[in-house]
Chains A and B, each alone.
Chain A
Amino acid sequence: MIAVLARDLKLAVRAGGGFGLALAFFLIVVVLVPFALGPDTGLLTRIAPGVLWLGALLSCLLSLDRIFALDWEDGSLDLLATSPCPLELLCAVKALAHWLTTGLPLVLLAPVLGVLLNLPAAGVAPLTLSLLTGTPALSMIGAFGAALTVGLRRGGLLLSLIVLPLYVPTLILGAEVARRGAAGQSYETPALLLAGLTCGTIALLPFAAAAVLKVNLR
C-alpha cells in the first residue's frame, strides 16, 4: 500500500502536469476575480474567503480524472484489483495521494493568495484550518467520482457534473468557517461540522468507490 502511495506521488511529481497545474490554475482564478469584480479593497476583503475556497475546489476538480485514468489505461488497475489488498483501502490511498499532491499544496498556497485579495490577518488561520479539514473530503469525493467515470472516454465533463453537487456541503461549511473567521466571529460550530463531514466521508466513501470500481473492472 505504501508502495502504491509512493508510486503515485512519484508519478505526479515526475509527470509534471498534474502537480503544478492545479496550483497555477488556483493562482489564475484568484487573479481573475479582481479583474471581473473591480479592485475595490473593501469588496475583495469581504469575498476573499469564499473566492479562495471556490478556487481551491475548482483546482482540486481539475486533476480528479487522473486519479484512476492512468492506471486504467495501462492495465495496472486490474493488477491492483486482483492483489490481496482490499480495493477499499486502495481507493482511500489513491485519494490520499491526490490530496498530498493537490490538496495540501493548495492549503499552503491559499494564505499567500489571500494577500492578493486583501484577506485580513485574522482570517488566515481559520482559512487554512478550514481548507486543511475540508480538502481531504474533496479528494475522497473526487476519487469516488473518478472511479465512477473511469471507463468512459469523455468522462471529464461528466465527472464535474457528478462531483460538483456532492461538493456542496463541504463548500458551504468550509467557506462559512473562513468567512466567520475573517469577520472576527466565532467559527467553532461550522469547523466542527466540517471536521465531522470530512471524517464521515473518509470513513464511508472508500466502500462506495471500491464498489463502482469493481463494476467498472468487470
Chain B
Amino acid sequence: MPDLGSYAVAVLSSYAVTLALLAVLVWTSVRRFRRVRAELEMLEGTATRDG
C-alpha cells in the first residue's frame, strides 16, 4: 500500500466510486443481456412449436 498522505480519502474514494459505478454498469448490462436472451429463446421456442 503506497503512502497517500493526507489525500488518502480523496484518492481511495475516487477509486471506490469509479470501480463501483463500472461494476454496476457491467452487472446490469450482463443481467439484462441474459434475461432478454432467455426470453427470446423461450418465445422463439414456442413460436416454432405453434407453427
Q: Please tell me whether chains A and B touch each other in their complex, using a CB distance cut-off of 8 A.
A: no
- Chain B residues engaging chain A, CB cutoff 8 angstroms: none
